[in-house]
């Protein structure tokens, strides 16, 4: 069976001429369905760039991205938004909720783009925020906002969940709660979860760890016995 | 460093700063440009009137003596007095027999001519005349040329000593002209010593212009002849023309001069209201005068007064609206811009930057941009737009030194615009600085409650997603919603005001040329037109005779001047060709035995249908009364209208000046008809008459369109800028660009339509404020036609849709990664 995600010889260059910089330099990897993947690397290594391409928000300059049987790297605008709507859920470092919508409404937003979306109230419950449903983003803590953003990401019932430093703006306790949620999405709901992080501790929970440096992959490690998030001693 | 930030931000948010610049520019330019004409005119006129010592009071009478002048002069409120003679004459055929008014003066203290070129006016000059500059320019007559003109058949030839402008002739148009043509009208100032009185009298007697009895009645110069005749048992009826001519030959210069009366006495005063002193004047000269006027009755002055008033109300109306709109938009967009920088401001404060420095930083943006815009607008306004508008007026009116001017108000508006935008940024900045940095580091929560009010609607759940989404958005971001509505509201106001004004011109044309002047041909009748001629014409043509006269009307008999109103008397035959329209602009028949009075006069005199109005012919003292049967309305003429039969009952001969008919009368051959105008001539004249105000409104329309585009662009820009991240997020979640665009478009349509609807009453208010502040003679309708609403609304909605389209097109290219980086 083919891998769920196949990244092949991906190059992404920012700028032109003298100032040109390869943010991602000939990167290839595969990710199987249901895997919990952690991408590690120092700042500026190209992690976010890769994740953005996985999320259909950015396109590579060369190379192919194959996800769930679709050639994401050559999709047009319309196909890309369709892909974003159905296949991936994105979780940002800074949550990016819509400020004029309440927690519930932010999640319910998904109903209008995907017919197979899950019940927003259920989603909020699953992240433990049913009591906050009428709050606006600015009235919630960072961790709460991030949980709403997770609820929003899973509401469309995506195969893949992407998180770019989802715990980056949170304190460690809150971060653990968020990570546990994501772990459950992977293990219980059988979704593929890919997280970019600076926190090397998370690596022990991952099925696969991708290490990057200067736009290149320096190591891909398959973890035989990942530790559940709840058992890690943070 | 902060300066760098500023330049970079200006470049990044170019649209925002461009709109601030354009708004300040447009507001100041329009205000100073539109006003510069009126200001310049007022300044030039004040100087003109001052330099020429323009009269404040005009007394017309049969003969004013030197003593009369002295008596007036001794009144405490009178400054200068002088007498003068006024003759109507004409130029020779080489100069199209142009209409000329000749002033003959033995002193020149009041209403002195302004010398454009040549010598100063000299009341002792026997061989020279001073000719109206506009007329001379039209015919290329220069000082030093000789010029011939005739008065009562007597041809006088003199040297043109100077070219002049008279303050009493700021406006002039030949009575047979349909549009101003300075080839056909002019005036002459000349010395009393240079006027050939003897030839003049002889000529009049020879041409039977005056009869023996006229002379006997008006002068005692023939008393000795009559005494002589009586000795031979003859009476004055036996005096022959030759006898008088012979007598005239022999009379001394002094006696000759005494036969020609000074019919005018003009004076100046510092008092505001000259007419209130009429009693004292009348007492001083024992009621020995026919009428007293102030400048509001001098056509040459009042026409410009009216036109300037009209221009002023139009330009004030527009500029005030422009300035208010610009200020509001600047205010809101500054506010939004600073609000959007909330986190940056919080960061700067958290970093320990002083409040004053932060505020200064944000103020400096606006100070620089709006100062640039305002100063630029001021110069372009006064020196480009203003001069253009002055040019429109200068072609028709004559005021030396009339150019675009400015005064404290223009500067004040500039300060207001710059100060307003600085203040708005200052205020919003201070507001953010007041909250503690920690809080300002997060976005502000929407102010409204948990649910938007629409969610309580029973059918809320049945509404589509985009409707729900937009309703929430609209209720929760009130300022943005306000901006969206406000933009189109402003657009609608401006469109209604300008398209509405233009529409009026058409409506007026329909009113005067279709309803009132319901005929195809209009013949002017000769001065000596009599009953026989009338018979002759009515034998050949089916039509209606109309007489125009000058009368004074009042609410009571023999009212004092202050309670009288100078009006046009219209006498019609009631045949439905020259019509009356009522206050609703509908044609109405005047019932026999009753009179129609114009609405504005009726209001002024507090009269209504059923009341009695009193009137007297301008040159007679007998008062008549008439019952008002109709309150009439005409666009630019206020009048008392009588039917011929009723007029004749007052023992006046019906002396029509016009014959109107649907039959082609152009071929008529006879002295009785002086000229014939075809409907198309009238229409052309009408268009010409309205041309200045029409051009002005067209200019305003163009600027309104620009303003609408700028305002809608600004509000679109603010809204889009603010929602950038929201759209990026939606895109990431999986909304297609098309769906987001639909969402925006839908919201935009709602807000635009609401804005247009709100704009209607405001636009109407501005329109009627402008239209209603016209001169006394004007009475325009005040509601625009449905077409005007349709055009205005359609235009505003289209511009709004285009702007929205322009911004929403950017959704497709929206850089999700870039937009979503970081908190801001
Ligand atoms: N829009 C852009 N224009 C130019 N260069 C960019 C842009 N976005 C990213 N880069 C460059 O690409 C490289 C990779 O950036 P990326 O955001 O992927 O790094 P990262 O690994 O996510 O780092 P961090 O852990 O700090 O978030 C960086 O060197 C960055 O400077
Ligand atoms: Mg990153």
Report the complex ipTM: 0.82
Task: Place B445 in a pLDDT band, splitting at 50, 70 and 90.
Answer: low
Task: Place B379 in a pLDDT band, splitting at 50, 70 and 90.
Answer: very high
Cβ-contact A61, A11 below 8 angstroms: yes
What pLDDT does B59 receive? 92
Q: Which of A67-81, B159-173, B265-279, B355-369 has the lowest mean pLDDT?
A: B355-369
Name every chain B residue with its beta carbon within 8 A of the beta carbon of A111. 465
Closest CB to A52: pick one of B733, B735, B817. Answer: B817
Ligand 1 pocket, Cβ-based, cut-off 6 angstroms: A 14-15, 21, 23, 41, 43-49
What pLDDT does B195 receive? 93
Q: Which of A49-53, B224-228, B581-585 has the lowest mean pLDDT?
A: B224-228
What pLDDT does A118 receive? 87
Q: Does the distance separating the beta carbons of A58 and B732 come in below 8 Å? A: no
Closest CB to A100: pick one of B465, B477, B816. Answer: B477
Indicate whether A212 pLDDT > 50.
Answer: yes
Q: What are B570-598's pLDDT values in tens digits?
A: 999 989 899 999 888 889 999 999 999 99
Dihedral angle sign, alpha carbons of residues A77, A79, A85, A88: negative
List all residues of chain A from 30 to 69 with a beta carbon under 8 Å from chain B.
Answer: 48, 52, 55, 57-58
For the ranges B288-292, B326-330, B569-573, the one whose mean pLDDT is highest: B569-573
Conformational region of residue B149, where left means phi above 0, alpha means psi within -120 to 50, and beta covers everything else: beta
Residue B518 CA to residue B505 CA, distance in Å, equals 18
For residue B150, how far is the Cα from the chain centroid? Answer: 36
The neighbour count for residue B307, using CB atoms within 10 Å, is 21
Third-level CATH fold of A34-59+74-231 = Rossmann fold (3.40.50)
Buried b (16+ CB within 10 A) or exposed e, B669-690: eeebbeebbeeeebeeebebbb
Which residues fall within 8 angstroms of residue B485, CB to CB, at 6 or more apart?
B751, B752, B754, B755, B758
Residue B511 CA to residue B504 CA, distance in Å, equals 10
Span from the CA of A44 to the centroid of ligand 2 (angstroms)? 7
Q: What are B390-435's pLDDT values in tens digits?
A: 988 888 899 999 999 888 888 888 998 888 888 888 888 888 777 7
- Give the bridge partners for A213, in sequence order: A216
Across the range B123-132, mean pLDDT stands at 94
Q: How does strand B154-165 pair with strand B264-269?
A: unpaired
Q: Does the distance separating the beta carbons of B730 and A96 come in below 8 Å? A: no
Q: Which residue has the higher pLDDT, B205 or A61?
A: A61
List all residues of chain B from 465 to 504 with a beta carbon under 8 Å from chain A.
Answer: 465-466, 469, 472-473, 476-477
Indicate whether B450 pLDDT > 60.
Answer: no
Task: Place B661 in a pLDDT band, splitting at 50, 70 and 90.
Answer: very high
Task: Place B203 in a pLDDT band, splitting at 50, 70 and 90.
Answer: confident
Q: Which residue has the higher pLDDT, B114 or A198?
A: B114
Domain boundaries, chain A: 34-59+74-231
Q: Which of A72-81, B476-485, B539-548, B771-780 has the lowest mean pLDDT?
A: B771-780
Which residue, chain included where needed, has tokens 């300040």?
B24
Mean pLDDT of chain A: 87
Mean pLDDT of chain B: 85
Chain B's closest residue to A102, CA to CA, is B450
pLDDT-above-70 percentage for chain B: 94
Reading across the β-sheet that carries A70-71, which strands appear in turn? A21-31, A5-14, A62-67, A70-71
Chain B's closest residue to A108, CA to CA, is B465
The neighbour count for residue B34, using CB atoms within 10 Å, is 27
Q: What are B664-681's pLDDT values in tens digits?
A: 988 888 878 888 888 888
Indicate whether B300 pLDDT > 80.
Answer: yes
Q: Does the distance separating the beta carbons of A99 and B446 come in below 8 Å? A: yes
Residue A52 CA to residue A69 CA, distance in Å, equals 19
Task: Place A84 in a pLDDT band, splitting at 50, 70 and 90.
Answer: confident
Which residues fall within 8 angstroms of residue B225, CB to CB, at 6 or more apart?
B239, B243, B244, B247
A70 in contact with B at a CB cutoff of 8 Å? no
Q: What are A87-97's pLDDT values in tens digits?
A: 888 888 888 88
SS3 B459: coil
The model's pTM: 0.74
- Give the bridge partners for B401, in sequence order: none
Q: What are B715-767's pLDDT values in tens digits?
A: 888 888 888 888 888 888 888 888 888 888 888 899 999 999 999 999 888 88
Across the range A7-26, mean pLDDT stands at 88
What pLDDT does B824 receive? 46
Atom of ligand 1 nearest to the CA of A215: 14
Chain B's closest residue to A142, CA to CA, is B442
What pLDDT does B436 receive? 66
Nearest chain B CA: its distance from A225 CA (Å): 33
For domain B521-663, is the CATH number 3.40.50?
A: no
Indicate whether B4 pLDDT > 60.
Answer: yes
Q: Count CB pairs under 8 A between chains A and B.
A: 90
What stretches of B734-814 show up as alpha helix (H) in DSSP?
737-772, 786-808, 810-813
Mutate to test the interface with A, among B468, B476, B734, B744 (most CBs of A within 10 A): B734
Indicate whether A170 pLDDT > 80.
Answer: no
Residue B390 CA to residue B402 CA, distance in Å, equals 7
Q: Which residue has the higher pLDDT, B162 or B35?
A: B162
B823 in contact with A at a CB cutoff of 8 Å? yes
Indicate whether B26 pLDDT > 60.
Answer: yes
């Amino acid at each position: 069976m083919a891998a769920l995600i196949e990244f092949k010889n991906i190059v992404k260059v920012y700028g032109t001429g003298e100032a040109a910089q390869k943010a991602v330099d000939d990167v290839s990897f595969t990710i199987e369905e249901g895997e919990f993947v952690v991408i590690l690397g120092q700042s500026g290594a190209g992690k976010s760039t890769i994740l953005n391409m996985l999320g259909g928000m950015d396109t590579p300059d060369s190379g192919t991205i194959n996800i769930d049987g679709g050639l994401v790297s050559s999709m047009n605008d319309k196909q890309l938004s369709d892909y974003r709507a159905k296949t991936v859920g994105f979780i940002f470092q800074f949550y990016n909720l819509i400020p004029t919508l309440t927690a519930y409404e932010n999640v319910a937003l998904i109903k209008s783009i995907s017919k197979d979306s899950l019940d927003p109230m259920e989603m909020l419950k699953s992240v433990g925020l049913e009591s906050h449903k009428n709050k606006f983003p600015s009235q919630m803590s960072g961790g709460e906002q991030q949980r709403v953003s997770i609820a929003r990401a899973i509401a469309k019932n995506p195969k893949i969940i992407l998180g770019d430093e989802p715990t980056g703006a949170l304190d460690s306790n809150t971060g653990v709660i968020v990570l546990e949620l994501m772990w459950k999405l992977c293990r219980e709901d059988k979704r593929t979860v890919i997280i970019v992080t600076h926190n090397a501790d998370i690596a022990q929970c991952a099925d696969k760890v991708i290490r990057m440096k200067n736009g290149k992959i320096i190591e891909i490690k398959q973890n035989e016995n990942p530790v559940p998030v709840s058992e890690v001693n943070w | 460093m902060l300066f760098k930030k500023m330049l970079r931000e200006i470049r990044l948010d170019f649209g925002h700063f461009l709109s601030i610049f354009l708004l300040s520019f447009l507001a100041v330019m329009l205000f100073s440009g539109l006003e510069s004409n009126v200001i310049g005119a007022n300044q030039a006129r004040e100087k003109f009137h001052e330099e020429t010592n323009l009269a404040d009071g005009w007394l017309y009478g049969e003969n004013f003596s030197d003593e009369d002048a002295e008596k007036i002069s001794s009144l405490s409120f009178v400054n200068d007095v002088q007498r003068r003679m006024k003759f109507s004459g004409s130029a020779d055929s080489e100069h199209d027999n142009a209409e000329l008014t000749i002033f003959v003066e033995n002193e020149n203290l009041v209403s002195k001519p302004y010398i454009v070129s040549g010598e100063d006016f000299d009341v002792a000059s026997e061989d020279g005349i001073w000719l109206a500059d506009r007329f001379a320019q039209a015919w290329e007559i220069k000082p030093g040329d000789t010029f011939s003109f005739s008065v009562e058949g007597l041809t006088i030839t003199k040297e043109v000593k100077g070219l002049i402008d008279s303050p009493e002739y700021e406006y002039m148009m030949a009575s047979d002209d349909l549009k101003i043509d300075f080839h056909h009208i002019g005036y002459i100032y000349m010395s009393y010593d240079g006027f050939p009185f003897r030839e003049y009298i002889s000529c009049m007697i020879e041409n039977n212009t005056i009869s023996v009895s006229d002379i006997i009645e008006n002068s005692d110069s023939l008393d000795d002849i009559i005494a002589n005749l009586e000795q031979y048992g003859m009476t004055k009826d036996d005096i022959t023309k030759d006898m008088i001519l012979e007598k005239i030959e022999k009379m001394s210069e002094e006696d000759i001069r005494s036969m020609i009366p000074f019919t005018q006495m003009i004076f100046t005063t510092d008092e505001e209201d000259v007419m209130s002193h009429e009693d004292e004047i009348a007492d001083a000269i024992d009621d020995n005068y026919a009428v007293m006027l102030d400048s509001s009755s001098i056509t040459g002055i009042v026409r410009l007064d009216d036109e300037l008033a009209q221009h002023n109300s139009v330009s004030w109306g527009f500029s005030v609206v422009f300035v208010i709109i610009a200020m509001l938009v600047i205010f809101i967009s500054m506010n939004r811009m600073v609000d959007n920088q909330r986190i940056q401001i919080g960061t700067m404060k958290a970093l320990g930057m002083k409040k004053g420095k932060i505020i200064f930083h944000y103020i400096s943006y606006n100070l620089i941009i709006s100062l640039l815009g305002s100063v630029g607008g001021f110069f372009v306004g006064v020196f480009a737009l203003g001069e253009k508008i002055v040019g429109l007026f200068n072609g028709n009116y004559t005021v030396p030194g009339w150019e675009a001017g400015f005064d404290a108000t223009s500067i004040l508006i500039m300060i207001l615009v710059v100060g307003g935008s600085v203040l708005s940024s200052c205020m919003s900045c201070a507001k953010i600085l007041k909250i503690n940095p920690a809080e300002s580091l997060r976005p502000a929560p929407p102010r409204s409650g948990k649910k938007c009010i629409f969610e309580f609607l029973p059918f809320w759940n049945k509404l589509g997603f985009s409707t729900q989404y937009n309703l929430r958005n609209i209720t929760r971001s009130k300022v943005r919603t306000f901006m969206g509505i406000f933009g189109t509201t402003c657009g609608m106001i401006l469109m209604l005001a300008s398209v509405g004004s233009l529409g009026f011109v058409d409506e007026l044309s329909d009113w005067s040329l279709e309803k009132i002047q319901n005929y195809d041909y209009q013949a002017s009748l000769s001065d000596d037109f009599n009953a026989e001629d009338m018979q002759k014409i009515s034998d050949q043509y089916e039509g209606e005779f109309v007489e125009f006269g000058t009368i004074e009307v009042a609410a009571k008999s023999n009212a004092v001047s202050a309670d009288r109103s100078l009006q046009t008397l219209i006498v019609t035959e009631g045949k439905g060709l020259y019509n009356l329209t009522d206050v609703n602009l509908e044609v109405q028949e005047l019932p026999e035995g009753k009179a129609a009075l114009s609405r504005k006069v009726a209001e002024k005199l507090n009269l209504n249908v059923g009341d009695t109005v009193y009137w007297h012919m301008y040159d007679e003292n007998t008062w008549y009364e008439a019952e008002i049967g109709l309150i009439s309305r005409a666009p630019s003429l206020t009048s008392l209208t009588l039917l011929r039969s009723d007029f004749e009952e007052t023992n006046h001969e019906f002396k029509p000046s016009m014959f109107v008919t649907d039959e082609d009368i152009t071929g008529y051959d006879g002295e009785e008809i002086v000229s014939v105008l075809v409907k198309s001539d009238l229409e052309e004249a009408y268009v010409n008459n309205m041309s200045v105000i029409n051009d002005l409104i067209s200019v305003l329309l163009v600027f309104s369109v620009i303003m609408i585009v700028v305002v809608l662009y600004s509000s679109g820009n603010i809204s889009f800028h603010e929602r950038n991240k929201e759209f990026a997020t939606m895109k990431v979640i999986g909304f297609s660009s098309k769906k987001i665009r639909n969402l925006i478009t839908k919201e935009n349509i709602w807000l635009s339509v609401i804005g247009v609807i709100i704009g209607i009453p405001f636009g109407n208010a501005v329109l009627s404020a402008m239209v209603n502040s016209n001169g006394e003679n004007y009475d325009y309708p005040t509601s625009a036609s449905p077409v005007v609403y349709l055009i205005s609304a359609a235009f505003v909605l289209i511009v709004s849709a285009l702007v929205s389209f322009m911004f929403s097109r950017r959704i497709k290219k929206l850089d999700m990664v870039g937009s979503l980086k970081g908190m801001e």
